[in-house]
Structure 1
Amino acid sequence: MEKTFPNLVRVPEPNMQMNFVAFAKRDIPISDWESLRGLRIGMVSGWKILERNTKDFPNVSHLLEVSDLFQMLEMDRLDVVLYSKLTGYEQLHKLELNNIYALSPPLCTKDMFLYLHKSHENLVAPLAKALHEMKQDGSYDQIVKETSCHLH
């Protein structure tokens, strides 16, 4: 991000971990990216991590709207939808699709970071410290637990 957007400064403490998963209507054994190769895959256009790891797969659909992908999965036009776990469950809840779930294990887990405009660089250290302290005292985990309970 810093290379693409030089006016942004990264807060060095991760604010969350994002799990990239395959959502499906049935239990499909997966272990890694390669285990998806023969499946009909759907993903949102522009998600580079997903595109890079499936670039030469034979049956990949790229759409702009994740809701369209989940509807295609519901209609059995796809075998899996690749998306982030937390926001995927949020979409499924909005669409009232109760028979689609994330397969295990996650395909990839990445630390995610906040970015501030360089004019707010003086807030980077206090924000990193606050995030770290919240993780130490358990309040961070409590917020994650309360938030994710509503989406599953």
Structure 2
Amino acid sequence: MESLIPLLSKAYKQIGHDVVFLPHPSNRSLSHLEDGILDAEIARLSVVEKKIGNIVRINIPIHTLKGFAYTNRGEIEEYTPEILGHYRLTSLRGVLWSDRVVTNHPRSNQMTQPADLLRLLQEGRTDIIFLAEETMDRLLENHPATSVKIRKLYPAIAIQPMYHYIHKKHRDLVPELEKAISDLLKNRK
């Protein structure tokens, strides 16, 4: 979601607020937002609203999540839920779309860092990993020697709009933020 930082920085600046972006693991970020320790979350799927009550959505989609399965196993040609029972799976802890895929799978593992998923795949300690396309693209840019063997499995598992969320104590910012983000997105095109 680092690619959204310039957009959100400009939007907040337009409405008179300076912001600082702090990296946090996914679950910690959500719990800190719910508790009001953090003021906002860069981008989340709308299903997060079912888990957390103290947040307000900025109702302008700012990103589209594309979640895929990736493998380096030659015999796996495409993603289907039916193939999962035959392989070891690894996902990022706290990522809702992939949690749904691996929940109750007897040979699944969860990690907190995307690079750990890639490492496990390279070492042959897992067969299929689940990551957002943008995250995997960034990992492969930083590890070009591994990209030759790793394949994205189609179809995508998740294609969903993502929204910026703020803690409810800042709900008065919603109309201004929606306008600023909307204007910035229009000017981007």
Measured against aligned partners, the alpha-carbon deviations of 1:69-100 in whole angstroms (never above 9, x if no partner) come to: 21121122222111111112212323443222
Q: 1:112 to 1:56 in 2, by over 3 A?
A: same
Give the fraction of aligned pairs with identical amino acids, expressed as a percent.
25
The count of aligned residue pairs is 139
Aligned partner of 1:8 among 39, 51, 55: 55
Q: What 5-or-longer segments of structure 1 have no aligned partner?
A: 141-152
CA distance in 2, matches of 1:46, 1:136: 32
Structure 1 residues 45, 6: CA separation in 2 closer, same or farther (over 3 Å shift)? closer
Give me the CA root mean square deviation.
2.5
Matched, 1:24 2:71: yes
Q: Decide whether the 8 Å contact of 2:69 with 2:79 is kept in 1.
A: no
Kept after mapping to 2: 8 A contact 1:23/1:102? yes
Q: CA deviation at 1:15?
A: 1.1
Contact 1:33/1:54 (<8 A) preserved: no
Partner of 1:42: 90
Partner of 1:148: none
Q: Could you report, residue by residue, the CA deviation over 1:5-64 in whole angstroms, capped at 9, with x for unpaired residues?
A: 443211111111111111122563224433433222111223233222222333212223
**In the alignment, is the contact (CA less than 8 A) between 2:68 and 2:154 conserved in 1?**
yes
Q: Is it true that 1:108 corresponds to 2:155 in the alignment?
A: no
Equivalent residue for 1:94, pick from 142, 159, 162: 142
User: Judging changes above 3 Å, is the alpha-carbon distance between structure 1 residues 53 and 98 closer, same or farther for their aligned structure 2 residues?
Assistant: closer
Higher-strand-fraction structure: 2
- Unmatched runs of 5 consecutive residues or more in structure 2: 1-47
**How far, CA to CA, are the matches of 1:59 and 1:17 in structure 2?**
29
**Contact persistence 2:91–2:102 (CA under 8 A):** no
| Contact kept in structure 1, 2:89 and 2:102, CA below 8 Å | no
- 1:113, CA displacement in angstroms? 0.9
Name which of 52, 77, 82 aligns with 2:125.
77
TM-score relative to the length of structure 2: 0.61
Measured in 2, the distance between the counterparts of 1:91 and 1:113 equals 23
